[in-house]
Amino acid sequence: MTTFQSIGLPLLALLALITVVAMVRHSINARAGFGWLAVWIAAATAIARPSITITVAHALGIGRGADLVLYCAILGMLIGFFFIYIRFKRLDREITKVVRHIAIHQSERGD
Amino acid sequence: MAENSDVWVVVPAFNESTAIGAVISDLRHFASNIVVVDDGSIDETAAAAETAGARVLRHVVNRGQGAALQTGIEYSLSHGARIIVTFDSDGQHSPADLPILVAPLLEGKADIVLGSRFLGSADRMPALRRVLLRIAVFFTRLMSGLKITDAHNGLRAFSRRAASMIHIQLDRMAHASELMDQIRRSGLPYTEVPVHVRYTQYSREKGQRTVHALRIAFDYFIGKWVR
């Protein structure tokens, strides 16, 4: 086992454990939980058996396994940013509603 | 119409303490119900507006002009407004345009009246601003299909029916285009009337910078996605 594997695999196992605990406690919903578990398992597989990434990369027309991992990471982050941005905008609107409520109700108490 | 209690004027204001007093005093010659929405100002905007005789609503934090307009509109509706006029706080608009603006509503000819500086007049409008506003009008016509000559004029009048149907969700400046979309979707009759816009040194400094146009367009498109 390489040094990277001996650091990476226990770390991913810990993350998977945390995810399962969070799912059991219902602090995240099942869909999100399984999504994250899939991510951890995929990462662990790629670290434990790097040759698998090469096979998958070739199947997708990508030359190297490392490139496949890089592309997936970038794509995943972009998708993540997009959803966070949407959520942020929604939160912004909720804040506006709260501010509006305070503005209108404060003035009515002052009348 | 000086004592017309059916007409409510909504004035969104952010750090306008130097201009707002005069704007409110002038407005009071034409309308008795004036609602200033102080959008989290850090200066004496609220006090100046109150002294000049306006009702003041305070946003505890700055939420942008679109948000302030919606707050003022909701408040006015809940106090029985029959007609709601939106009016800028920086002294660009002329209170003398109010009777012209509400006339089509009183005559039942329209539910929404939009002020147009291009039908009317604009003093000392910078050339670049003129070009940009023309582009904005083109953009708005394209997106909303409304046949209008001035999309980004803060001077507008709504019937109670129209105001109840409008929900400005885009907090910042992109609300102008959003509003046009909603006007079209409401299917209510709208019209434009010529109004006068004055570009003073002050309003130019306080107003939108030309470079913000892209940001506004971006907000508008994102707003179409976030519901």
What percentage of chain A exceeds 90 in pLDDT? 84
What predicted TM-score, i.e. pTM, was given to this entire model?
0.79
From chain B, the residues in CB contact with A96 under 8 A are: 63, 67, 70, 171
- pLDDT band (50, 70, 90) for residue B216: confident
Least Cα distance to B193 among B100, B123, B106, B111 occurs for: B100
Asked if the model's pLDDT at residue B153 lies above 80, the reply is: yes
Question: What does the alpha-carbon distance between residue B224 and residue A62 come to, in Å, rounded to a whole number?
Answer: 36
Which pLDDT value is given to residue A74? 96
Backbone angles phi, psi at B226, to 5 degrees: -90, 115
CA atoms in the 13 A half-sphere facing the CB of A98: 9
Q: Of A86, A100, A107, which is closest to B67 when you measure between CB atoms?
A: A100
Question: Is the pLDDT assigned to residue B3 strictly greater than 60?
Answer: no
Q: What is residue B207's predicted lDDT score, i.e. its pLDDT?
A: 63
Instruction: Tell me if residue B185 falls in helix, strand or coil.
Output: helix
pLDDT value at B209 more than 80: no
CB contact under 8 A, A100 and B60: no
The amino acid that residue A53 corresponds to is T
Token couple for A109: 């108490």
pLDDT at A36 over 90: yes
Per-residue pLDDT of B20-43, as tens digits, reads 999 999 999 999 899 999 999 999
Query: Residue B6 pLDDT more than 60?
Result: yes
- Tokens 């990434």, residue? A53
Q: Which residue of A has its CA nearest to B170?
A: A93
Task: Write out chain A residues lying below 8 Å of B67, CB-based.
Answer: 96, 99-100
Task: Give dist(CA B18, CA B14) in Å, integer.
Answer: 11
